[in-house]
């Protein structure tokens, strides 16, 4: 009973965070979901493609249940799963993610938590289903956090799910940000500290 509860709980959390990751693309242009938004090239559509590839590998090959569609070998991984080529559409990548999740869900449903698996690219390759469920939940949550920050930089939208999203209050955010900026400057003893009640970018000059 405990194992069944643990599996259902982890699987439920994984399903929720999958939906959140895909939602981060909602309403954005083709360019914005593809363009690099950090110095290392992190981009929104690439995050979905990467997590889809992870689900396909870890819940497929690791348990002797290869993905029903062709995948590159892990030995040949070259980072191409982290960005979308021009000919790859948003719909194709999201569909790939959904198919990878369906295959992963079947693996989770059919195997017990202690089912043995083998991850040849890990230093300790012998694993079980519980190890991999935790790993993929952690990986998906981490990259969804990345996507959340990237989306906020693009248009200010944040949150876990559309139904819980609140309308952006630009003035309130500016005031809150100014308060944090003031605290940061005050902590280092700067000559000029931002007034926490001033608009963003305003600085209070002190003697």
Which residue is it, tokens 């952006």? Answer: 168
Stretch (H or E) spanning 16: helix 2-23
pLDDT-based confidence at 203, cuts 50/70/90?
very low
As a three-state string, the secondary structure of 31-52 is HHHHCCCCCCCCCHHHHHHHHH
The SS3 call for residue 192 is strand
Task: State the pLDDT at residue 207.
Answer: 35
The SS3 call for residue 128 is strand
CA distance 65 to 110: 11
pLDDT-based confidence at 135, cuts 50/70/90?
very high
CA distance 85 to 97: 16
Stretch (H or E) spanning 182: helix 170-187
Looking at residue 68, the DSSP 8-state letter turns out to be S
This prediction has a pTM of 0.86
What is the homologous superfamily of the domain 2-164 according to CATH? Answer: dinb family like domain (1.20.120.450)
Tokens read off for 48? 């979905």
Sign of the torsion angle spanned by Cα atoms 15, 16, 18, 22: positive
CA distance 65 to 74: 15
How far CA 82 is from CA of 61, 153, 170, 202, in Å, comes to 20, 19, 32, 39
Q: Would you kindly state where each structural domain of the chain is located, as residue ranges?
A: 2-164, 170-205
Which residue is it, tokens 């982290």? Answer: 82
Q: Which residues, at least 6 apart from 65, have a Cβ–Cβ distance to it below 8 Å?
A: 59, 103, 106, 107
pLDDT value at 12 more than 70: yes
The more confidently predicted of residues 1 and 183 is: 183
Range with the poorest average pLDDT among 15-24, 110-119, 183-192: 183-192
């Amino acid at each position: 009973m405990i194992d069944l509860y643990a599996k259902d709980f982890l699987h439920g959390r994984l399903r929720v965070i999958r939906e959140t990751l895909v939602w981060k693309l909602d309403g954005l242009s083709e360019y914005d979901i593809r363009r690099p938004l950090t110095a290392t090239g992190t981009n929104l559509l690439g995050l979905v493609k990467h997590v889809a590839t992870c689900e396909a590998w870890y819940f497929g090959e690791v348990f002797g249940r290869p993905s029903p569609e062709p995948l590159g070998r892990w030995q040949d991984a070259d980072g191409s799963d982290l960005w979308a080529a021009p000919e790859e559409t948003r719909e194709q990548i999201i569909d790939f993610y959904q198919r990878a999740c369906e295959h992963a869900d079947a693996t989770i449903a059919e195997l017990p938590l202690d089912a043995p698996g083998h991850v040849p690219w890990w230093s300790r390759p012998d694993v079980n289903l519980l190890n991999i469920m935790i790993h993929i939940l952690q990986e998906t949550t981490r990259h969804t956090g990345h996507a959340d920050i990237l989306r906020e930089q693009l248009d200010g939208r944040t949150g876990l799910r559309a139904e819980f999203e609140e309308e952006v209050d630009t003035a309130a955010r500016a005031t809150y940000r100014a308060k944090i900026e003031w605290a940061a400057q005050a902590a280092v003893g700067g000559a000029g500290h931002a007034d926490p009640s001033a608009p963003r970018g305003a600085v209070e000059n002190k003697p």
